[in-house]
Amino acid sequence: MKEILKGIDNKWVRLTILVVVFANTAGMMLGYQILPFDNEQIATGISIVALAASEIWNHWKNNSYTKPAKEADTYLESRKEKLKQK
């Protein structure tokens, strides 16, 4: 997953979002509605995206999918057992 995220050149994503938000804000200030959404719909959409992203992130971080993560879990459990025996 880290390799995929490192491969994404996020400067283009940030620039695209900046241009869209700037154009929409400037249009709203001039009385035009560039995006066909009102503020409530945009807030709802952002909330849904944030919820989905946080759920995926938390699930990924709290579960072991990769081989190194599974090995680390096994090591951690063995260390816990050794400490309990003392």
Specify the higher pLDDT residue, 43 or 33.
Answer: 43
Specify the higher pLDDT residue, 30 or 6.
Answer: 30
Q: How far from 63 is each of 22, 33, 59, CA to CA, in Å? A: 39, 44, 6
Check residue 74 and give its pLDDT.
Answer: 92
Q: What is the DSSP letter of 6?
A: H
Q: What confidence tier does 84 reach under pLDDT thresholds 50, 70, 90?
A: confident
Q: 73, 64 in Cβ contact below 8 A?
A: yes
Question: Mean pLDDT across the stretch 30-43?
Answer: 83
Can you point out the beta strands (E) in 7-58?
Answer: none
Domain ranges of the chain: 1-36, 38-86
List, for residues 3-21, the tens digit of each pLDDT value: 766 676 677 778 888 898 8
CA 35, chain centre distance (Å): 24
Q: What confidence tier does 39 reach under pLDDT thresholds 50, 70, 90?
A: confident
Specify the higher pLDDT residue, 86 or 57.
Answer: 57
Interacting residues of 26 by C-beta distance below 8 A, sequence separation 6+: none
